Amino acid sequence: MKPCAFEMHRPRELAEALGLLERFGEEARLIAGGQSLVPMMNLRIAEPAVLVDLNAVDGLAGVRRDGDVIRIGAMTRQQSLLDDELIRRHVPLLAEAAQHVGHFATRSRGTIGGSLANADPSSELALATTILGAQFTLRSVARTRVVTAEEFFLDALRTALDPTEILTEVSVATAPDGARVAFHEHARRHGDFAIASAAAMLGPKDGALLIGVGAVGPVPVVCRRIQSAFGKRNFLEELNDLIAAEIAGIEALSDVHTSADYRRKLGAVCLADCVRELLA
């Protein structure tokens, strides 16, 4: 369980990092917290010839408020999402989601950008950012572009990132004061990859409901049927049918431990639990 030989670069400036990607193209992999990449390299499932380490790059980590938007640097550690006062206050769903990400040790090293760029179907941060309509800044030497989370996640482990691009920042609109959030997840053990998860945010008074389901399919799914039916008459009576319709639209994943059918069932349970918690 030792990785193949590789060349390691540790740039201090973003421009330098982008330049290295431009130079090495698909031979290069970015390393942030390394919590997914390093095990893959040790198993020789990933054999990058060049590693570009983002840990020393100036200005990629940290959380700041910019008007109605919270800007989160891609190298911000996952544990910071739990600890940071701005996140807890203004993006409470992300803080809630982060509680389900791995363990203290892995969260202390793992980053938000690394997790999003890895695009594991079970990623709690992918689910939360998708529901919140977060915007991701992708930079390369040639250009800077902004995509929404929904546009970013293409498939399991596949994103809109070009080999020459770096996800540098995640920006999320501040939640209205008094917004309530819920996050429900089922995994074999605490901290394991989710079998199914759901996240939701309810605006204060007559506010809108944002809700989605993760881990069931290859990418997080915003449950628009539930969102638009929310607040209408008979919502609660129809909820189970709405959930069933949402789940039926997902091509569920299966693996050695869990069938697609069971993922769907748990996805439905998670969605129902989120709604019930917010309406309680």
Partner 1 sequence: MEKQPPLLRVEDRRFLTGQGRFVDDVHLDRMVHAAFVRSPHAHAEIASIDAQGAEQAGALAVLTAGDLPFIEGSLFIPRWHPSVRKVLPKFLATDRVRHVGEPVAVVIAADRYLAEDCAALVNIDYRPMDAVATCEAALAPDAPRIHDAWPGNVAASFVNSAGNADAAMAAAPRRLSRTFHYGRQTGLPLETRGCVADYDSGRNALTLWTSTQVHYAVRQNLSMLLGIPEYDVRVVSEDVGGGFGSKSRVYLEEILIAHASRMLRRPVKWIEDRVESLQATTHSRAFDTTIEIGYDDRGMIAALKERIVVDVGAYVFTSGIVTAEVAASHAMGPYKIPNMTIDVVCVGTNKSPLATYRGSGQPEATFPLECMLDLIAKDLGLPAAEVRHRNLVAPADLPHPVNTSYAGPCSIESGDFPAMLRQATAASGYHERVEQDKAGRRIAWGLALGMESTGFLNYESARVQVDNRGNVLVHSGLTSHGQGQATTLSRVCAKALGIDEGRVSIRLGDTELLPFGRGTFASRGAVVGANAVHGAAIRLRERALACAGQLLQSDPATLTINDGRIERSNGEATSLSLADIARALQPYGQLYGKAAPLDESHIFDTQNKLTFALSVHVAKVALSWRTGEYQVVDYLVVHDTGVMLDETIVEGQIVGAVADGVGGTMLSELIYDEQAQLLIGSLADYLVASAGEAPRVRLDHVRTLPTTNPLGVRGVGEGGIIAVAPAIINALGRAIFPDHLGAEQGLFHLPLKPERVLTVLEQS
What residues line the site for partner 1 (CB under 8 A)?
A: 1-5, 39, 43-44, 186, 188-193, 256-259, 262, 265-266, 269
Q: How far is the CB of 262 from partner 1 (least distance, A)?
A: 4
165 three-state secondary structure: coil
Rounded distance between C-alpha atoms, residue 178 and residue 202, angstroms: 9
Least separation in angstroms between residue 108's CB and partner 1 is 18
Which residues lie below 8 Å from residue 145, measured CB to CB, with a gap of 6+? 137, 138
Residue 22 phi/psi, 5-degree rounding, is: -60, -40
Residue closer to partner 1 (CB basis): 189 or 232:
189
**Residues with Cβ within 8 Å of residue 10, at least 6 apart in sequence:** 53, 55, 56
Q: Give the residue with the Cβ less far from partner 1, 40 or 229.
A: 40
36/76 with CB nearer partner 1:
36
Tell the smallest beta-carbon distance from residue 247 to partner 1 (Å): 14
Distance of alpha carbon 93 from alpha carbon 138, whole angstroms: 23
CB 121 within 8 A of CB 156: yes
Q: Which residues contact 97 (CB under 8 A, 6 or more apart)?
A: 81, 124, 125, 127, 128, 183, 199
Which residues lie below 8 Å from residue 36, measured CB to CB, with a gap of 6+? Answer: 114, 118, 120
What residues have CB less than 8 Å from 70, skipping those under 6 apart?
63, 64, 86, 87, 90, 91, 171, 172, 173, 174
**91 or 268: whose CB is closer to partner 1?**
268
Cα separation, 230 vs 15, in Å, equals: 46
Write down the least CB distance from residue 189 to partner 1, Å.
6
Nearer to partner 1, 119 or 270 (CB): 270
d(CA 156, CA 134): 19
To partner 1, the closest distance from the beta carbon of 190 in angstroms equals 4
What's the min distance (Å) between Cβ of 191 and partner 1? 7
End-to-end CA distance of the chain: 50
To partner 1, the closest distance from the beta carbon of 58 in angstroms equals 32
**Nearer to partner 1 among residue 53 and residue 192 (C-beta):** 192
Cβ-based nearer residue to partner 1, 12 or 188: 188
